């Protein structure tokens, strides 16, 4: 193995969720929309279901998956995505637990 080989350990779900909501375009692509972020969350949950895990989402998490009403400006989209951080933490932690 060469000296420049780096071995990565598991990523903390809290850190990854924070990174996703801080820079959603990097993880979800442009344009950044709440619908795209909600679809990302749904995809993680589908993967967990396929792996035989029960839903990691609470009723409160499901409430956060509904976009706010009214103005759908870029700023509102970002604020709605930021609200998803606890949902992402929960799902990413469940996915990580599934790998251990």
Q: What's the domain range around 72?
A: 13-99
Total number of domains in the chain:
1
User: How is the chain classified by DSSP, letter by letter?
Assistant: --TT-----PPPHHHHHHHHHHSHHHHH-SSP-HHHHHHHHHHHHHHHHHTTPPP---HHHHHHTSPPSS---HHHHHHHHHTTHHHHHHHHHHHHHHH-
In a domain, 2, yes or no: no
pLDDT in the model for residue 98: 55
Measured CA to CA, the distance from residue 13 to residue 90 in angstroms comes to 8
Mean per-residue pLDDT for 52-57?
Answer: 85
Q: How confident is the model at residue 81 (pLDDT cuts 50, 70, 90)?
A: very high
To the nearest whole number, what is the mean pLDDT of the chain? 87
Mean per-residue pLDDT for 54-63?
Answer: 87
Tell me the whole-structure pTM to 2 decimals.
0.81
In a domain, 20, yes or no: yes
pLDDT in tens, 18-38: 999 999 999 999 988 999 999
């Amino acid at each position: 193995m060469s000296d420049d080989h780096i071995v990565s350990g598991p990523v903390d779900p809290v850190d990854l969720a924070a990174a996703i909501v801080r820079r959603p375009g990097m993880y979800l692509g442009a344009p950044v929309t709440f619908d795209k972020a909600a679809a990302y969350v749904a995809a993680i949950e589908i993967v967990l279901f396929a792996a035989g895990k029960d839903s990691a989402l609470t009723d409160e998490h499901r409430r956060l998956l509904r976009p706010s009403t009214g103005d759908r400006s870029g700023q509102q989209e970002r604020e709605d995505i930021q609200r998803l951080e606890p949902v992402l933490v929960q799902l990413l932690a469940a996915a990580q637990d599934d790998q251990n």
